[in-house]
Amino acid sequence: MAAVASYSYLGSSSLAPDGGHLTLQTSGGPTTHPRFFTGFVTAAEAAAVGLLAVAEVARTRYHQPINPASLDPVVTGGRDRLRFESFSGCCGVYARLDVLSAGLDGDIVAHGTTNVDVNPPLRQALARVAGADPLHLAVGPDDLTVTTFDGPIVERKVPLPSRWLRGFAEAQVITSSFDLRAQVGATDAMAFLRRLPAGNDWSVLWAVPAGRTLRLTSRPLPGAVCLPGAGRLAALRPFLRFATHLRIYGPPVGASSGPVSSTWELTTPAMRLSVTLSPEPHRGFSGEGAVLSALASDEVADDADLISALLSWDPTIDPAVLADASGLDAVRVRAALTQLGAAGRVGYDVAEAGYFHRTLPYDAGTIERMNPRLRAARALVAAHAVTLAGDLATVRGDNGNYQVRLSDVGLTCTCPWWAKHRGGRGPCKHALAVRMVRDGVDRDVPEAAAAPVTQSGTVTGTEVTR
């Protein structure tokens, strides 16, 4: 399912010839052309390199590379920081630059999320930024009065796959299970990254802490972090010269674990640059299915409305505080946050082990329509195709019946999807339908799920047609 997005800007983002003033143009969000920040970035060269890294990921398709089609990154203005985010064209790499309060000397004048224009001339100019002098940064146009009735000065249309949109929601759920697994200093980090296979080596490796450094193995070990496609860390290398540490995050693994996602983060006192890798180079985050179980619940939409009303623009969203304030248990709060993530309302920061605000203006109904397994499961429930019998359920499918069994590892199924993925990419439609029936989900198909996929919508302030 493809899309074309129109980005309308008052002008092109630019860096003044003397290198002293960087203006990033914005498109859509809380207003048509919001202004989020004006002031100085205290580490100009590092900020320029970090922003280039996020933009480079946005224009790269790592698996089966093709000519780059630059997608505009998004920026979120929070109470104490700016976050720049992007996904690769193949949706297998998620990049984020967090410019923290220590790196900003100015005022964040608005909260929200918008696209930012990072055009080819700006990339060339950013590549020339050098030295330790502060850089004046304006996120948003200096003067909105330049808008005329003749329309935008700059308009670009770029391919925007729907899977790119779903990636934000999936990455939020997947990374929320991560813990810090290793930390190495800048010198050892540089040596480690330089030892990695280069180019198109897409093998799945594992990084294991070894004293002050990391060693690579071809098999998982307890405490290891998966490195699926070392070439996908290329965006981090230019930032190494500013970093104080390399931190890597991942879920717990054992000797029999399959490939999993991981986050690789370079830190400085003023900012953090991270890339999160999908479990295998050919897999995009959009197909991981991590959000499906949460979206399948009847109560999660109401819970999400309640949690949404309690959110404030604090730097970190604390689920425990939300549980106390809402009266919901921790499981329901996290499911509600998943629902909000599917609506573009929250993301997850592994460095702070907490959720953060992101206000992309697309809703959970849109995300649900983009998940064919969820739509298919709702159709099975509506067709009364699920028969329960204790720990065993029978699901009537188009090509025969399938057996879904409740076991120690959750719901297993006899369908080809389960045989291929063994639950590693979320539940199959049959298991999802069984879960809905067990949980008492209404057998009437919701209007949002039954609506046709072809639609027009607004995504980060852009016109989208599918």
Pair (145, 179) in one structural domain: no
Cα–Cα distance, 176 to 115 (Å, whole number) = 25
Residue 86: give the domain boundaries.
Answer: 4-164
**What integer is the mean pLDDT of 330-349?**
84
So what's the pLDDT on residue 183? 96
Examine residue 355 and state whether it is found in any structural domain, yes or no: no
Specify the pLDDT at position 441.
Answer: 56
User: Is 416 within a domain?
Assistant: yes
Domain count, the chain: 4
226 shares a domain with 112 = no
User: How confident is the model over 138-162, as pLDDT tens digits?
Assistant: 888 765 433 333 444 466 666 555 6
DSSP-derived secondary structure for 278-305: -SSTT--GGGS-TTHHHHT-SSHHHHHH
List the alpha helices (DSSP H) in 284-424.
Answer: 292-295, 300-310, 319-326, 330-342, 364-369, 372-382, 416-421
135 and 178 co-located in one domain: no
Residue 444: predicted pLDDT: 46
Residue 310 lies inside a defined structural domain of this protein = yes
Amino acid at 451: A
Do 12 and 88 share a domain, yes or no?
yes
Comparing 49-53, 157-161, 188-192, the range with the smallest average pLDDT is: 157-161
Tell me the two tokens of residue 86.
């992007």
Tell me the average pLDDT across 280-285.
Answer: 87
pLDDT mean across residues, the chain: 82
- Are residue 36 and residue 147 in the same domain, yes or no? yes
Strand order in the sheet with 245-250: 26-27, 112-116, 74-77, 82-87, 93-99, 271-277, 262-267, 245-250, 179-185
The CATH number linked to 209 is 3.10.150
62 with 183, same domain: the answer is no
Q: Which whole number is the average pLDDT over 276-300? A: 81
Residues 25 and 121 both lie in one domain: yes
Last residue of a domain, one of 118, 141, 164: 164
Same domain, yes or no: 316 and 258: no
User: What percentage of the chain has pLDDT greater than the value 90?
Assistant: 37
